Amino acid sequence: MVEDALGRAPTLIYCAGGNNRFAQIAIDAGYRYGARLPDTVYHPLYFADQDWKRPRRDKYMQGLAQHHPHMATVLDWETEDQLPDVLDWAEEAAQYADQVVIIPKVLGGIPRLPTTIATATVVLGYSVPTSYGGTPLPLWSFAGRPIHLLGGSPHAQMECWRYLAPIAQVVSADGNMAQMLATRYCQFWTPGTAKQRYGARNRYWPTIREANGGTPVEGTDLPYECFRRSCANIRQAWEELCT
């Protein structure tokens, strides 16, 4: 991807294990591969995540030791008294990853987080708000630190980047919303142009039928075609944004 004014545009990561065909589509579109561990992994792992609602440290660390990803998240820092546990997770994960992603959710806590742990760089994770979760801290509190955007819609991630770009470097962004909407509703992502272009109800997520002029489209490969379109459109939108 092209470089932004602060050094580089975010590395885009498709994060979902268990389906090699979706993973290959994303990789072919220029994305890095990520998965929540433990899960079925089909390609060399760039990004490892874990279930922040039900953390399983032993299984997760076993996965990191097996795959040695470039980036690895650790336990979310949700309450003041969790910090020792979060840093302990980070120290263990730093044995297996080049970058450790700490996700701060404690107001005023970011200045207490280190910039490196052992030989690993500490990247701060910002969980883009969705119904599943989100970071309650203001974006400005991440100023001056490298940031990874976790989840959310592509356009919400881009809005975060617009705010953060003058004050911090967004090094990467992961997500699987495009796969979810492709498989559930045969929708694909556009940069807010779907109403004008297709007459779609949702300006970001037209259905394949709407894109076909309202004529039904049949076939078992439709979710994969929707995902392929999303990957290409998201990548192009990021390139245009960061030029």
The answer to whether residue 167 scores a pLDDT higher than 70 is yes
pLDDT at 51: 87
The answer to whether residue 1 scores a pLDDT higher than 60 is no
Dist CA 172 CA 229 (whole Å): 21
One domain, residues 118 and 212? no
Over the range 12-44, which residues count as b (16 or more CB within 10 Å of their CB) and which as e?
bbbbbbebeebbebbbebebbbbbbbbeebbbe
Q: Which of 104-113, 133-142, 195-204 has the lowest mean pLDDT?
A: 133-142
**Boundary residue ending a domain (124, 147, 175):** 175
| Tally of domains within the chain | 2
One domain, residues 5 and 120? yes
Q: Which domain holds residue 182?
A: 177-243
Average pLDDT over residues 126-141: 89
The answer to whether residue 234 scores a pLDDT higher than 80 is yes
One domain, residues 194 and 164? no
The predicted-structure confidence for 10-69, as pLDDT tens digits, reads as follows: 999 999 988 999 999 999 999 999 999 999 999 999 999 998 888 899 999 999 999 999
Dist CA 156 CA 164 (whole Å): 12
Give the mean pLDDT of the chain: 93
Output the domain CATH number for residue 76: 3.20.20
Helix (H) or strand (E) segment spanning residue 123: strand 120-127
The answer to whether residue 6 scores a pLDDT higher than 80 is no
Positive or negative, the Cα torsion across 233, 235, 239, 241?
A: positive
Angstrom CA distances, 151 to 85, 92, 135, stand at 24, 24, 11
Q: What is the DSSP letter of 9?
A: P
Dist CA 79 CA 77 (whole Å): 6
One domain, residues 22 and 139? yes
One domain, residues 183 and 157? no
Query: Please, which pLDDT band fits residue 216 given cuts at 50, 70 and 90?
Result: confident
Which residue type, as a one-letter code, is found at position 108? G
The predicted-structure confidence for 89-132, as pLDDT tens digits, reads as follows: 999 999 999 999 999 999 999 999 999 999 999 999 999 988 77
pLDDT at 232: 98
One domain, residues 165 and 205? no
One domain, residues 70 and 189? no
pTM of the model: 0.93
One domain, residues 236 and 197? yes
